[in-house]
Amino acid sequence: MQAKVAILARVRKATGGYEFITMDEKKGRFIPVEGAISYLIRYTPASTNGAKMRRKVVPAGRNFPEVLARYTHIERDQSLIRNGMEPEPNAELPKKTGPLTIDEAVSQYLEHINERVTAWRAGAKKGDALSPNSISTYTRSVKDLQTYCREVGVVYMPTTDETGKQEADEINQKMLVNYKWHLYKNLARRKGQQSETIATRFRNISIFLGFHKIQMVQNRNFRDGRGLLMPNEMPRAARPGRNGAPEVIIYSDEQLEALFFVADRETATYRNNLWTGPKRSGHNEQDFLQFLLKLGIRASQATHAEWSDIDWNNSAFEVKDSQDKLEKYDWRPKDHERRVLPIEEKLLARLKARKFRQETQARDEDRNAPSLIFPNSNGDVDLMPVARIHKLMDKTRKAGFPWPADSPDPDHTFRKNYATGLHRNGYDIKSIQHLLGHSDMETTMGYIAGNPTAAASAVSKAFGSYGD
């Protein structure tokens, strides 16, 4: 009788040294061994002539899903040999009828993500499509979860989303809660936004589970017993003005003036031929900063902005979903948005001067002027605009100006300065929502900072006449 193929778990003993534990199977799946460091596969090679074969034990590594795959290969090959057939080294394994492994689930999900990117390039609308710029946030969330599951011995996707009905080796309530605290402990704080980052990751994990028909969180209204987590177990992003969450942070007037001063100094260095970095057409760092601040657009929209997007007669800049830009740059505005933004008078003059410099430089170098407003040194799209701003911030700090080392992300903070500036000067929130390209008012409210100075003045006017 042929010996069964078995998986051995290598475990450290409390008294020192190691021991090997044969993993048991239950309902077609292996029961995890707590504290397993690595795995081996034990089997007796099959014989077709009845010869006695020596038992073999081969290392199988630390990654249990890969161990399972190797186990299945060995088991299949031994079965073929016993039946007088030659094993096929490159043959595809038969589809498993058991539970879906996390590795298989992640692979299927990432394939789905790539299909959505293909749909985006074909012009599909939000819901069916996904911008290439969004791939990293989805893939990072599921791959980090996949890595954590390997570390704690969780191998399978849940076979049901009934609350509390998951096995120990499936993604389950206890594992997800532990993963949440693992992230709080180990995920680097991103300029005060750690809770928001973790909440985003869990939302992405919820989408991943939903793709596989698993509900991650119980519905607050229905309470139908479906969902791996209770609503209060999901991490929450820090919302401005709620439950003591931090207020919206914007750059102060002093910080912006210091940043613009350093940007002008960089420009002067360039024009005096002292610049050692890459040469940029029409180089002027403050042009880019003012473009972000005074139009309230994202950095990626600014780097893909073309001169043809400007309506010079009406002092307006149009954000639009263009097939031409998709073909040239493989880029589209977020959510395929389309809106017209007014250009402030001084910014318009700056842009006219910039266009003149670019055309003059191109004529002197006997080449075509760039169609992009802010091209890189090769005339292509600048893929590192935020990194450029961070370098300016570092130089501002080193120059002795009050610029904190943990200053917030510039891409969104310039937009928050834009929204706050419009609001403080009497512009209505509904119109600000349109200019920012937000789909709901609540998101726009999260971009408007409070005004303590104005509040003190308002309190004085409202209640100054009362009392002594």
Between vectors from CA 53 to CA 79 and to CA 93, what angle results, nearest 5°? 25
Q: What is the pLDDT of residues 391-422, one digit of tens each?
A: 888 889 888 887 777 777 788 899 999 999 99
Residue at 31: amino acid letter: I
CATH architecture of 253-411: Orthogonal Bundle (1.10)
User: What is the predicted pLDDT for the residue at 268?
Assistant: 67
3-state DSSP of the chain: CCCCCEEEEEEECCCCCEEEEECCEECCEECCCCCEEEEEEEECCCCCCCCCCCCEEEEEECCHHHHHHHHHHHHHHHHHHHCCCCCCCCCCCCCCCCCCEHHHHHHHHHHHHHHHHHHHHCCCCECCECCHHHHHHHHHHHHHHHHHHHHHCCCECCCCCECCCCCCCECCHHHHHHHHHHHHHHCCCCCCCHHHHHHHHHHHHHHHHHHCCCCCECCCCCCCCECCECHHHCCCCCCCCCCCCCCCCCCCHHHHHHHHHHHHHHHHHHHCCCCCCCCCCCCCHHHHHHHHHHHCCCHHHHHCCEHHHEECCCCEEEECCCHHHHHHHCCCCHHHCCEEEECCHHHHHHHHHHHHHHHHHHHHCCCCCCCECCECCCCCECCCHHHHHHHHHHHHHHCCCCCCCCCCCHHHHHHHHHHHHHHHCCCCHHHHHHHHCCCCHHHHHCCCCCCHHHHHHHHHHHHCCCCC
Percent of the chain at pLDDT > 70 equals: 86
Residue at 49: amino acid letter: N
3-state DSSP of 174-201: HHHHHHHHHHHHHCCCCCCCHHHHHHHH
Between vectors from CA 375 to CA 371 and to CA 379, what angle results, nearest 5°? 75
User: What is the predicted pLDDT for the residue at 274?
Assistant: 45
**Per-domain residue ranges of the chain:** 6-82, 102-233, 253-411
User: What is the predicted pLDDT for the residue at 200?
Assistant: 87
Q: What is the pLDDT of residues 268-277, one digit of tens each?
A: 665 555 444 4
Q: % helix / strand / coil in the chain, to the nearest 5?
A: 45, 10, 40
User: If you search the block for the tokens 């031929």, which residue do you land on?
Assistant: 273
Q: Are 131 and 332 in contact (CB under 8 A)?
A: yes
Nearest to 64 by CA among 128, 129, 155, 142: 155
Nearest to 42 by CA among 21, 14, 12: 21
Helices 385-398 and 285-295, interaxial angle, to 10°? 110
| Ranges under pLDDT 50 in the chain | 1-2, 95-96, 190-195, 240-245, 274-279, 281-282
